[in-house]
Amino acid sequence: MFKKITALLLAIAVFTGCVGISEVASAKEFKTQSSPVVDSKNKVELKSNKEKRVAPIVARIIVSAAGYAVKKLGKKVADDVWPVVKKKLDDLLEKAEDISIKGPGGGERVFAIFDKNKEIFRLDAKLLKKPDGYYLWVHYHITPDMSEHHDIAEIYMGKNKPAGW
C-alpha cells in the first residue's frame, strides 16, 4: 500500500510540475540503494559502478509538501500557489541540514518544514468570509521572522462555504 501511495504522490508531483523528472529519479535511486552514506549536509551519497551520485533528501520533502498542498487546498488552488512555494523551498532547503516535514494541522497549516527541529517554513491557508463570498488567503511564514505573513494569493472559493473548511 505504501508503495502505491508513494508512486501516486510522485506522479502528482511530476504532473503538477513541483518536481522534475531528475529529482524523482534521484529519490528512486536513493530508495533502491542498499548502503547509502549520509554526509553532513543531509544528502545521501550513493556509490554505483559508473559514477558517484548524490540524491538529495530534499526531493522527498518537496514531493511530500506537494501532496499536502493538493490534499488541503485542492488541485486547482495548489496549481496557482505551488510555483511560488516551490521557488521558496528550493532556495531554503539548499541550506538546511536536518530537514523534516509536518502535514496539515487542525487550523490554517498546510505544511511546515523544520531544520534541526526548528520551524523554518510554514504554508498556511485561511478561509475568509467577505460580503461577496468565501476567499482562501494563502500565505507563508519563513525564517528569520516566522510571525510575518508573506501573501501568495487570495482565491475566490464561491458564495457557499467550501467543504472541509
Q: Tell me: the pLDDT tens digits for 59-111? A: 888 889 999 998 888 887 888 889 989 888 888 887 778 889 999 877 899 99
152, three cell numbers:
501568495
Which residues, 6 or more positions from 102, have their beta carbon under 8 angstroms from its beta carbon?
Answer: 109, 111, 112, 114
pLDDT at 59: 80
- Can you tell me the mean pLDDT for 35-52? 40
Question: Does 35 have pLDDT greater than 80?
Answer: no
pLDDT at 74: 86
* b/e per residue 62-76 (b: at least 16 CB within 10 A): bbbbbbbbbbbbbee
* pLDDT band at residue 56 using 50, 70 and 90 as cut-offs: low
Question: Does 33 have pLDDT greater than 50?
Answer: no
pLDDT at 101: 92
CA distances from 48 to 23, 31, 43, 57 (A): 17, 14, 16, 18
Q: Is the pTM of this model over 0.85?
A: no
pLDDT in tens, 139-162: 999 999 999 999 999 999 889 888
Which residues, 6 or more positions from 91, have their beta carbon under 8 angstroms from its beta carbon?
Answer: none
**φ and ψ at 157, to 5 degrees?**
-105, -10
Vertex 27 angle, CA 69 and 9, to 5°: 30
